[in-house]
């Protein structure tokens, strides 16, 4: 009857120092300390020298005072060097584990990623107003002016635009499909028709900027919400003020367009912003030129056709915001990490939640849209500055702030 067995349940002692040992390490019963010490000693492979008489008695308390004697004791009691993994073995193990992690990470969303999406959705819902109910007090838009719309040049009746004095852009919605089809086909057809507008300088004066005050108010309204969205993100707030400004300057236009895309109706080519419906001609009437509007219009169609879910839209907004290569960013590496994290989250989300064969193309297509938007951001700034030049004091200070290159600001 061996009732005698425990005495301390597991009273085994380290063969090197006498400390409590929980198991065998490198072929000897040792404590955690001696285990780590032996591995490090092997990997360092440097000669150790005893400052005393090479006869140190190793105990739990003095084991740190003489590495040489401790190592000798390790070998004496039978710890085996060959049981320490070699450098290549370690490398193999590491890469194998990394691979596995990568696979897991691209197969299922981590709880952190799900939490991130939740935060983004929450931030988005509290700062985006899809029916534009808070958009009021704006200056009215005069749609009686029929712009020389470059988008209807290739259409059959370019000068037959009816006036649309109401809040709904009836012109676009009436024969909008024709116009869209014609212009949209034109965009993707050839480069010859894509820039048939080669008299910019003179034509600019024909534009009466009749929609500029309204578009300015709308844009200002949108920018405020974009800033609120960004500021309600934990990661964003943790950046320096300077970097926050740099990121906002770079991303505001893009995020605005992403948000407009959520209310874009690709059938009618209209943006259905609650009680007001906009068409591309409103942008023309605000003074923007085809060099921006053509690719922008195309982008909205391309992006809308992806039929993104809200989670995807909001991840795209965040990816745009955390673009590391905006002018003036200081903490490039951190922002790059966040950006990659968001991109991986989007990719994984698509892989997990989407079905169908086109899901593998969705992520690359989104990335392509980013490239498009990037060039448009620059062109937008240019055109805003041009408009500001011709029509001073119409564009709001907030818009100028976004467009300006000055590093200092106070959003």
Partner DNA sequence: CGCCGTTCACGGTGTTCA
Partner DNA sequence: TGAACACCGTGAACGGCG
Name the site residues for DNA (rule: CB under 7 A): 19, 23-27, 31-37, 39-41, 44, 63-64, 67, 83-85, 90, 93-94, 96-97, 100-101
Q: Any contact of residue 82 with its own copies (CB under 8 A)?
A: yes
Rounded least distance, CB 335 to its own copies, Å: 11
Rounded least distance, CB 81 to its own copies, Å: 11
Residue among 140, 162, 364, 407 that touches its own copies (CB under 8 A): 407
Q: Which is nearer to its own copies, 118 or 157 (CB)?
A: 118
Say which entry of DNA, Zn ion, its own copies, none residue 111 contacts (CB below 5 to 8 A, set by partner kind).
Answer: its own copies
Residue among 51, 140, 165, 397 that touches its own copies (CB under 8 A): 51
Residue among 29, 69, 223, 226 that touches Zn ion (CB under 5 A): 69
Calculate the CA 373 to chain-centre distance: 13
Question: Quick check: 21 and 31 in contact, CB under 8 A?
Answer: yes
Residue among 13, 50, 77, 83 that touches Zn ion (CB under 5 A): 50
Q: Any contact of residue 40 with its own copies (CB under 8 A)?
A: no
Rounded least distance, CB 351 to Zn ion, Å: 42
SS3 assignment for the chain: CCCCCCCCCCCCECCCCCCECCEEECCEEECHHHHHHHHHHHHHCCCCCCCCCCCCCCCCCCCCCCHHHHHHHHHHCCCCHHHCCCHHHHHHHHHHHHHHHHHHHCCCCCHHHHHHHHHHHHHHHCCCCCCCCCCCCCCCCCCCCCCCCHHHCCCCCCCCCCCCCCCECHHHHHCHHHHHHHHHHHHHHCHHHHCCCCCHHHHHHHCCCCCHHHHHHHHHHHHHHHHHHHHCCHHHHCCCHHHHHHHHHHHHHHHHHHHHHHCEECCCCEEEECCEEECHHHHHHCCCCHHHHHHHHHHHHHHHHCCCCHHHHHHHHHHHHCCCCCCCCCCHHHHHHHHHHHHHHHHHHHHHHCCCCCHHHHHHHHHHHHHHHHHHHHHHHHHHHHHHHHCCCCCCHHHHHHHCCCCCCCC
Q: Any contact of residue 18 with its own copies (CB under 8 A)?
A: no
Rounded least distance, CB 387 to its own copies, Å: 18
Q: Any contact of residue 327 with its own copies (CB under 8 A)?
A: yes
Say which entry of DNA, Zn ion, its own copies, none residue 97 contacts (CB below 5 to 8 A, set by partner kind).
Answer: DNA
Q: Which is nearer to its own copies, 111 or 191 (CB)?
A: 111
d(CA 99, CA 82): 26
Say which entry of its own copies, Zn ion, DNA, none residue 82 contacts (CB below 5 to 8 A, set by partner kind).
Answer: its own copies
Rounded least distance, CB 121 to its own copies, Å: 8
Tell me which stretch binds its own copies (CB under 8 A): 181-189, 190-198, 214-222, 328-336: 328-336
Q: Which is nearer to DNA, 85 or 367 (CB)?
A: 85
Q: Which is nearer to its own copies, 82 or 389 (CB)?
A: 82
Among candidate residues 63, 68, 50, 67, the one with its CA nearest the CA of residue 14: 63
Rounded least distance, CB 16 to DNA, Å: 10
Question: Quick check: 77 and 15 in contact, CB under 8 A?
Answer: yes
Residue among 126, 160, 163, 240 that touches its own copies (CB under 8 A): 126
Q: Any contact of residue 111 with its own copies (CB under 8 A)?
A: yes
Q: Any contact of residue 31 with Zn ion (CB under 5 A)?
A: yes
Q: Which is nearer to DNA, 41 or 218 (CB)?
A: 41
Q: Which residues bind its own copies (CB under 8 A)?
A: 51-52, 65, 82-83, 111, 114-115, 118, 122, 125-126, 327-330, 332-333, 405, 407
């Amino acid at each position: 009857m061996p009732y005698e067995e425990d005495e301390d349940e597991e009273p085994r002692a380290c063969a090197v120092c006498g400390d409590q040992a929980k198991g065998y390490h490198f072929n000897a019963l040792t404590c955690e300390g001696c285990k780590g010490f032996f591995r490090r000693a092997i990997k360092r492979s440097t000669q150790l020298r005893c400052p005393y008489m090479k006869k140190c008695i190793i105990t739990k308390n003095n084991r740190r005072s003489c590495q040489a004697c401790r190592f000798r004791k390790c070998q004496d009691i039978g710890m085996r060097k060959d049981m320490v993994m070699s450098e290549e073995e370690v490398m193999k193990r590491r890469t194998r584990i990394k691979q596995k992690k990568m696979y897991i990470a691209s197969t299922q969303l981590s709880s952190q990623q799900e939490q991130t999406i939740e935060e983004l959705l929450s931030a988005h819902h509290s700062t985006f107003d899809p029916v534009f109910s808070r958009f009021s007090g704006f200056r009215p838009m005069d749609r009686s002016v029929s712009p020389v719309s470059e988008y209807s040049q290739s259409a059959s009746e370019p000068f037959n635009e009816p006036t649309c004095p109401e809040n709904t852009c009836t012109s676009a919605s009436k024969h909008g499909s024709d116009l869209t089809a014609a212009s949209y086909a034109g965009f993707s057809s050839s480069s010859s028709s894509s820039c048939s507008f080669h008299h910019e300088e003179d034509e600019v004066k024909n534009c009466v900027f009749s929609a500029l005050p309204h578009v300015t108010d709308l844009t200002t309204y949108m920018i405020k919400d974009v800033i609120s969205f960004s500021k309600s993100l934990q990661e964003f707030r943790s950046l320096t003020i300077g970097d926050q400004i740099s990121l906002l300057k770079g991303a505001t236009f893009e995020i605005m367009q992403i948000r407009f895309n959520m209310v874009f109706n690709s059938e009618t080519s209209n943006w259905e912003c609650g009680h007001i419906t906009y068409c591309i001609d409103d942008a023309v009437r605000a003074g923007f030129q085809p060099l921006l509007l053509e690719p922008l219009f195309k982008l909205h169609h391309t992006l809308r056709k992806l039929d993104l879910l809200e989670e995807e839209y909001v991840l795209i907004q965040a990816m745009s915001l955390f673009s590391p290569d905006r002018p003036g960013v200081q903490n490039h590496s951190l922002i790059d990490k966040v950006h990659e994290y968001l991109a991986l989250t989007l990719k994984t989300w698509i892989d997990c939640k989407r079905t169908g064969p086109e899901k593998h193309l969705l992520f690359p297509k989104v990335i392509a849209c980013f490239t498009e938007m990037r060039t448009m951001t620059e062109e937008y700034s240019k055109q805003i500055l041009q408009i500001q030049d011709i029509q001073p004091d119409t564009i709001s200070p907030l818009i100028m702030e976004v467009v300006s290159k000055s590093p200092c600001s106070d959003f």
